[in-house]
Structure formats: C-alpha cells, structure tokens
Amino acid sequence: MNKTRMEMKKLKMGILGCGYIATKMAEAVKGLEKQNLGVEAYAVASRELAKAQKFAKENGFKKAYGSYEELARDPKVDLIYIATPHSHHFDCAKICLEHNKNLLIEKAFCANTKQATQIIAMAHEKGTFLCEAMWTRFLPAVQMVNDWICAGKIGKVESVEADFSQPISHVERLQNPALAGGALLDLGIYSLTFADLFLGTTFVRDNKTVKPAVNPIVKIDSQCTKFSTGVDATDWVNITYENGQKAFLKASITAPWHNEGTIYGTKGSIWVKNLNDMEELRLFDATGKLLKTVKPPRLVNCYEYEVLACKKALENPGKFRHEICDVQQNAPRNCKRDASKSKSSSNSVWECPEMPHAKTLDMMEMMDGLRANWGVNYPFEISPNDTWNRSGDKSILQIFDVETGKVKTLHKFDCVIEAPNWSLDGTFLTYNAGGRIYRYTIATGKIEMVPSYFVDNCNNDHVLAPDGSGLYVSHHTKEDGLSRIYKIFFDGRRPELITPLAPSYLHGISPDGMELAYCAERNGEYDIYTIPAVGGNETRLTTAKGLNDGPEYDSDGAYIWFNSVRTGRMQAWCMKADGTEQTQITDDPHWNTWFPHISPDKKRVVMVAYHESDVRPGEHVPNKNVELRLIERTRKAAPTKPHAWTQAKTILKLFGGQGTINVNSWAPDSKRFAFVSYKKAK
C-alpha cells in the first residue's frame, strides 16, 4: 500500500529532444529519482528512434520514442520538457498541447512573442500546466541575494552589470538564423534576467514589512554586432528603470569567456559567479572588502529546482491554477472569475510563481524589441520593413451598412489613405494621406485638402471638432519626429498646438468639444490621458501595465472606450470618463482587438481584430488580413457591465489593419460606418 501511494506521487518526466541541454535535464531528473524526491526518469523522444534509444540507455530513462507525437500520446507522462532549438519550441509545444500534456519549455520560450502568445493561449484553453524553463529564476541563490538586499547589506541598489560571453560561434545552431541563432536568445536572456531579478522588482518598506513592487523600464539603449549569417554576435543593452536604477548588460557568442554579474549599492556590492546557475555569491562593503562568500546548495546541477517547482504546482492545482478573469485596473492576475461578468469558456492559467506567463511574455517582447532595433529577424518571420512597406499600395474607401450587411465603395485611391471620420451633419468624411488631412464630400465625391500649413506629417489619429470648425490631429513634428496634438481649421487659420509633451496620439473628443482623450508615452509607459481642448494640464486615466490605447468618448461623454493589452491580449475596455470602473468588454482568446468605436446611439461598437498568429498583442500594423467585429447592447445597464454586450461577431473580413478604422467613423444615423481596405502592390 505504501509503495503504491509513493509511486502515485512520482512525477513521470518526459524529455522531447536529445541534444546537449536535454542531457543536463536528464542528469537532474535522474538525480532526483535517485534521491527519492518523487521524480521518475520515464521517457525520451527524438525524430530518430535509434538516437532516442541511445539517449534513454545512457541516461537511465525507461522508454524511448522515435517521434515527438508518440511521447505526447503516452498517457503516463506527467510533464514534458521541450529541449529542441528555440525555432522548434512552437511546433513541439503545439503537438504536446494537442494531447493535453503539461509542459516545461526550455528558454527562450519561443522564437518570438507571437509564437509565445499562441502557446500560452492554447495552454489556457486546454487547462494544462505550462512553464518556461528559465532555471535561474528557481535557484535558492536568488532568494539569498534578495535577502541581502532587503537586509540593507549593500544599501540602496543603484545598478547592475552582467556579462555572459562564450566563444561558441562555431556551433552551427548559433550561426543559423533559421534556428533562431545568435547571442540574444541563448546567452543574452540570462543577462536580461539578471537585471530583471534584481532591478525589475524593488522592495518597499511598509512599516516593518518589506513588500515587492514593480519597477518599470523607462528607456532601453542597445546595439549589436552581427555574425556573417546576420544573427547577433555580441549585444550591449543599457536599461534605465523608473526609479533611476540602471543595468549595463552584455552577451556574446564571439567574445572570450566571461560569465558574471554584480549588483552595486550605496554601501557595497554583491558579485555573482555564473549568471545561469549562480555558483558563488560574494558580498563586499563600500571599500571593496570581501565580507562573505557563499556557495548556494545544489541537489544535482541546479536544473532540478525548476522540476521540483513544476512538481509542486502540479500537485497543488488549487493553489497554482486559476481561471482567466476580467481583470480590473491594477487587480491581480489570479483574481476569481465573476460568472456574471464572463463570457468566455472555462479557460484557466496553471503556472509557477517563479516564472509566470506574464513574465515570459515580458521577456519575449523585450527581446523582440531589441532584435527589431538591430534589424535581426529570422527567415520564418516577416521583417518589419516588409510589413511596413506600403509603397504602391492602393486604398478603397468604403461604407458598411450594419443592418443590411452590404458594403458600398465610395472611392478607389492609388495611394495609402487612412482613418475616415464622418462629419456630424453626415455630408463628408475626412481622412489622412501623405501627412495631410483631406475632406471627401459624400454626395459629389469632391476631395479637398484641409489647410494645415506646417502641420504636414499627420498620422491616422484625428477627430472632428463638434462645432465643425476643424479637426484635432496628431502631427509628427520636425524637431524630434514625435507626435503632438494640434488643431487645424477648415477656414484656413493657423494650427494651434495642444500638447507640448510627446509622443501624444489623439483618438477622442468629448461631445461638448471641451476635452480630448489620447494615448501618450510618459516615462516608458503608454497610457490614456485627457486634456482640455484648448490645452493645459493633462490627466492620466490608466496606470495598468502594457499599452492602453484608442480612447474615445461615447455620445453623451459619460464613458470612454479604449483598448488595452493588460490581460495578455489586446481587448476592448470601457471606463467612466474620470477613469474609474475600468472593465474588460471583449475576451477573444485568439484575436487582438483594437479601437472600439461606439455608435452615436450607443447601441453598437465596431472594432478591428488581428489573429494572434499575425501580430504581437500590442502590435497594430498594416498589410494584414483582419476582421471587423461588432458587439451590440443587450440591456439597459452601464456600458462597463460586460454582460450588457453581446459576444463579438465577425461582420467583414478584409486586407487592412493600420488605417482601416483607427478613429470613430460612424455615420450620425448609427447604421453605417466608413472604413478603408487595401490592395498590396505587386
């Protein structure tokens, strides 16, 4: 009886892939098994059966499979560790999740954020456990360092330095862009993690209690040198945090061996040998005198700590598993679902607190941003230059009738036009093209340019003034190229500057014309602000982490609709005009929904939606197949009540994206809206 109960508690581990990193995990798993810590070296899989059999024999695993699918189908496997190259994590994870397998995926989690979001969404739908195998975050050494910091051993932390360099560019996988090679995903992620561990979270004293607090990044400066194949060979990344702390990071696959990090404080420093496994810690005072040396414990080779954390989470689903919910501003991600507010299925999040899904996405997005800055992309990705190349594209200005479902074409353009506004009297539309604003008379098709003088680099964020005098526009100024809000006039008056601070992207105006609502980046965070239409002090309405964008007032000015990525997907939200009652309205597990535009009668909201495979959650780009989606009011309740709205339904599929419906384009009768579709130049 006791033996049977002990066997039931054993975690049967499967390893997918039989390369170098798999041998390290196999060593850890076998070590845990030998120490009777409830883990069993059960099965391995390779695309070649002979290779799997050899690996299993050498590492003491019981079963060997000649395909990944066979391992995923084995009902006895409790947890699969994916040990293939970064480029293959996505496909391997999908195979396993299709068979409802719990996963531990080697870092970097995937090759990019788009892949990562799909895998996380799939795990949520399946209700399976998922964790990124960033073993450093699970080490006892991390807690030791934080204990020293919290105890004031080095005073106030000011900066960190980290360098993980190895002359390993001869390894074919690291040279190959098709395998997501380069320094960043292999070594740079350790330097970034080191900074995030000790600067990304600060510790604030509340009376006698020390509590963690998020310390947002406000600036990143970076550069890289490239290998001959185009992957990054050596990376330098300097990060500035909101509280003034700084990180100076390096990673290289060509430089001499160097693997260490230092945390500097006002009273001393902490030196860490090896960023990955933190083999040794040294505490110094302000003069450089060595005060203490510690070699943190290791049961095997330090890979075991992430396995034990996964085992703990799998054995305690009540503690580590929670349902996805409508998350209010600044509410914890693991809040209980309110059945009255939710329209989604029983999706759930099952994760380790040491490496939550949100942190995985944060790191993936950071690395995507670094690669974009360096011009490093992989063959299986669409390069940003290709995505944004709109030269020769044609535009079609159209109207959709929501009652009949019919589309009417107004005009075809041999250039890119964007973001139609519909005038309050219903007689004309305005749009932007080539940096200028144009007026299109619906009855005659006449096109006129609105006089704007030096305001000649307008983007697709503009709204009509309710009094009919002109438009408020977002214009990229020549001084720094950043977007600021101006008012331009139909009668030819000189433009007026509204927001000296930049960047500011306009989206809404109150019905009385007194207030503007816009998205602005301040100190590295994109949030929603309001400002008097004549200028003045701006008011911040959102503080939730991630991009908050697209704010616009409803027709009586009581509520502001917007889109936010705070819950992991870009979705439609609504709040009172003072920023209270921020509530998620849409909950599409595989779509990123942008720019909710509410009709004048407040009965309908139209949005543009991107599939998760096409964009990152916070990305709004052109040249994509998108859908226009509609939700409708179902009862007389506050707009911030999700149950007051139907689930989003697709009303039109088209080629578009950036520029299709950036701003409110409803007709005054609330039955039609204008939009732009595109034809890509051949």
Radius of gyration of the chain (CA): 27
The DSSP 8-state label assigned to residue 117 in this structure reads: H
Residue 604: partners with Cβ closer than 8 Å, 6 or more residues away: 402, 598, 630, 631, 632, 633, 670
Q: Which residues make beta-bridge pairs with 209?
A: 206
How many Å apart are CA 122 and CA 200, to the nearest integer?
28
What b/e sequence results for 21-55 when a residue is b if at least 16 CB atoms lie within 10 Å of its CB, and e otherwise?
bbebbbbbbbbbbeeebbbbbbbbbbeeeebbbeb
The DSSP 8-state label assigned to residue 644 in this structure reads: G
List average pLDDT for each run of 10 residues in the chain, which is 682 residues long.
47 97 98 97 98 98 98 98 96 98 98 94 94 98 96 96 97 95 97 97 68 86 97 98 96 97 98 97 97 96 98 94 51 32 56 95 95 94 84 96 97 98 97 98 98 97 97 96 98 97 97 98 93 97 94 97 94 98 92 97 98 91 96 91 94 97 97 97 79
**Amino acid residing at 239:** I
What is the pTM assigned to this prediction? 0.86
How many Å apart are CA 334 and CA 129, to the nearest integer?
15
DSSP 3-state of 303: coil
DSSP 3-state of 606: strand
How many Cα atoms are found within 13 Å in the side-chain-facing hemisphere of 403?
5
Residue 375: partners with Cβ closer than 8 Å, 6 or more residues away: none
Per-residue pLDDT at 207 = 64
Per-residue pLDDT at 635 = 87
Per-residue pLDDT at 305 = 98
Tokens standing for 630?
């509609």
Q: Alpha helix locations (H) across 151-188? A: 172-175, 183
Q: Which residues make beta-bridge pairs with 223?
A: 236
Per-residue pLDDT at 209 = 67
